[in-house]
Amino acid sequence: MASVEAPAVTPEEARRHATGPTAGLADGYTQANLIAVPRDWAYDVLLFAQRNPKPCPVLDVTDVGSPRTVLAQHADLRRDLPRYRIWEHGELTAEPTDATGYWRDDLVAFLIGCSFTFESALRQAGVPLRHVQQGRNVPMYVTDRECRPAGRLHGPMVVSMRYVPAHLTDTARDITARMPAVHGAPVHIGSPNALGIKDLDQPEFGDATSPHDGDVPVFWACGVTPQAAVMASKPPFAITHAPGHMFVTDVRDDDYRVF
């Protein structure tokens, strides 16, 4: 079953050829969110991440202007994600599949942990992944929880949601708690209202998924949170990944397991 859900592509193949959401791709390898901002804003982003470690666990930060990361030696961050978003003053202005033409010499890129990383571990523990089964992008929601601001950056926390059979929510919590670098334990289990989410069928990012009988919604902090901060805080320029269209690294998921 794992081989059906997770075609055996290498991380490099995923970086070169993927065009859609990357959930289930290059199974066992860590995926990452991207946000690149001008050097002048880099301290704010790094501090925002430090102050909000559940949604923004930083896996790597590039040197100014460099599209290279230690997470994948031969990758080029300008073109090796399936889809990008270009932001000007908080407005989405383009969604290209290659960001080379938008890259600037003063950009600093942040790679932030992604919950797709713990999906292999969930699957191995028998926790079904409804969005993968249903061929959809994971649903993501803007919550009513404000992040702790940092410098000029502020905004709400974004969460991803997975329906989990009620008898497996403890398992899902325990497995993901051991991986704090990729969001760790859920921020909430059970009630969308507790996070200010009005309708699970209308996610702000990704696709709605369908629960099975007895499923409970489980919410994890999400690396799209910096994009919500870009929208709220309006830095002059930013490049991010498109939600669900992640950077596939060469690092094994297990490397981010603390126990």
Residue 115 beta carbon to its own copies: minimum distance, rounded to whole angstroms? 15
> Which one, 6 or 185, has the nearer CB to its own copies?
185
Q: Which is nearer to its own copies, 40 or 88 (CB)?
A: 40
CB atoms within 10 A of CB 17: 10
Beta-bridge partner residues of 153? 150
Residue 238 CB, shortest distance to its own copies, in Å, is 17
How far is the C-alpha of 65 from the C-alpha of 124, rounded, in Å? 39
Terminal Cα-to-Cα distance of the chain (whole angstroms): 26
Task: Closer to its own copies by CB, 53 or 96: give it.
Answer: 53
- Taking the complex as a whole, the smallest distance from the CB of residue 132 to its own copies amounts, in Å, to 25
Nearest to 120 by CA among 73, 175, 72: 175
Whole-number minimum distance, CB 22 to its own copies, in Å? Answer: 24
Q: In the complex, which residues of this chain contact its own copies (CB under 8 A)?
A: 42-43, 46-47, 50-51, 58, 61, 174, 177-178, 180, 184-185, 258-259
Q: By CB neighbour count within 10 A (0-12 exposed, 13-18 middle, 19+ buried), where does 220 fall?
A: buried
Question: Whole-number minimum distance, CB 63 to its own copies, in Å?
Answer: 9
Nearest Cα neighbor of 67 from 31, 94, 106 is: 106
Nearer to its own copies, 79 or 178 (CB): 178
Residue among 43 and 103 whose Cβ is closer to its own copies = 43
Closest CA to 205 of 138, 112, 135, 118: 138
